[in-house]
Amino acid sequence: MYKLRTEKIKQIFDSISKEYDFLNRILTFGTDFKNKKEIAKLVKEKNPSKVLDIATGTADIPIILSEIYDCEITGVDISEKMISEGRKKVKSKNLYKQINLDIGNAERLKYNCNYFDVITICFGVRNFEYLERSLNEAYRVLKNSGILIIYETSKPENIIIRFLYYIFSTLFIPLMGLLFSKKPGAYFYLQISSKVFPSGRNFLKILSNVGFYDFEIREKLFGTLSIYVAKK
Ligand SMILES: C[S@@+](CC[C@H](N)C(=O)[O-])C[C@H]1O[C@@H](n2cnc3c(N)ncnc32)[C@H](O)[C@@H]1O
């Protein structure tokens, strides 16, 4: 698997924090927000009192989840600059009482065991240097019967769509990086990592090894994005 050290990943996201939201909407053809709304609906159905969003970035998910009544929402991310952008958004929406954003590594979470009702990880897992260690940590801090929701890029099953996606990710993602970012190298990393990360049943095997069960996969954008739901 193509992997960079956590320190390098942190530098990449620090360097693109200001443009991240804008480019994320473009690279997912505007579907990102709609899919995150669907994730929020799934979270809401669980009637949680404590939710953790790992690799929260600029805090999209905590902000969408803030509509859940009487729910403590925590976001954690390794990149100080992504968190700083998130804090600006939280402050401008006057949500700092509901949302707490922490700087931290998914591999070593500071939270108690069996604490959260729901954990979400959006476009985070493929960046983790030690994937299983990070998923073990998510498992540890999730309550028994709690729900893990992961939203990630995936490889389409259909061979024609997979080929088109290959062309898209090889050309379009770095091109957008060149046009809109001062750090085009970061977008080269994003397209490589999305190509090599396990998806579909291969990813479920990893979740199953960690101890999760009762899986559901919701494919989005012709199978190029997937929402995985699993239970502890
Ligand atoms: C593609 S962004 C996703 C941000 C946000 N979840 C979203 O959906 O827009 C990936 C995020 O993962 C974070 N990240 C990468 N490795 C991490 C780790 N080991 N622990 C915590 N966060 C990490 C990066 O700093 C970055 O903010």
Q: What is the CATH number of domain 6-157+197-231?
A: 3.40.50.150
Cβ(86) to ligand 1 under 6 A? no
Per-residue pLDDT of the chain (232 residues), as tens digits, is: 556 798 999 999 999 999 889 888 887 777 888 999 999 999 999 999 999 999 999 999 999 999 999 999 999 999 999 999 999 999 999 999 999 999 999 999 999 999 999 999 999 999 999 999 999 999 999 999 999 999 999 989 889 988 888 888 888 878 887 887 777 777 777 777 777 888 899 999 999 999 999 999 999 989 999 999 999 9
Contact 228, 216 (CB under 8 A): yes
Element (H, E) at 193: helix 184-196
pLDDT reported for residue 2: 58
Cβ(39) to ligand 1 under 6 A? no
Report residue 171 as tokens. Answer: 């050309």
Report residue 219 as tokens. Answer: 């494919």
> Do the bridges between strand 50-54 and strand 116-122 make them parallel or antiparallel, or are there none, so unpaired?
parallel
Phi and psi based region of residue 60 (left: phi greater than 0; alpha: psi -120 to 50; beta: remaining): alpha
pLDDT reported for residue 219: 94
Contact 37, 218 (CB under 8 A): no
Closest CA to 165 of 3, 24, 173, 32: 173
Mutate to test the pocket of ligand 1, among 5, 8, 13, 60 (most ligand atoms within 8 A of CB): 13
pLDDT reported for residue 1: 53
* Domain edges within the chain: 6-157+197-231
Cα distance between residue 156 and residue 37, in whole Å: 22
pLDDT reported for residue 186: 76
| pTM of the predicted protein model | 0.94
Q: Which residues, at least 6 apart from 65, have a Cβ–Cβ distance to it below 8 Å?
A: 40, 43, 44, 51, 53, 71, 73
CB count within 10 Å of CB 176 equals 19
Q: Which residue's CA is the nearest one to ligand 1's atom 13?
A: 55
Closest CA to 203 of 148, 138, 125: 125
Cβ(17) to ligand 1 under 6 A? no
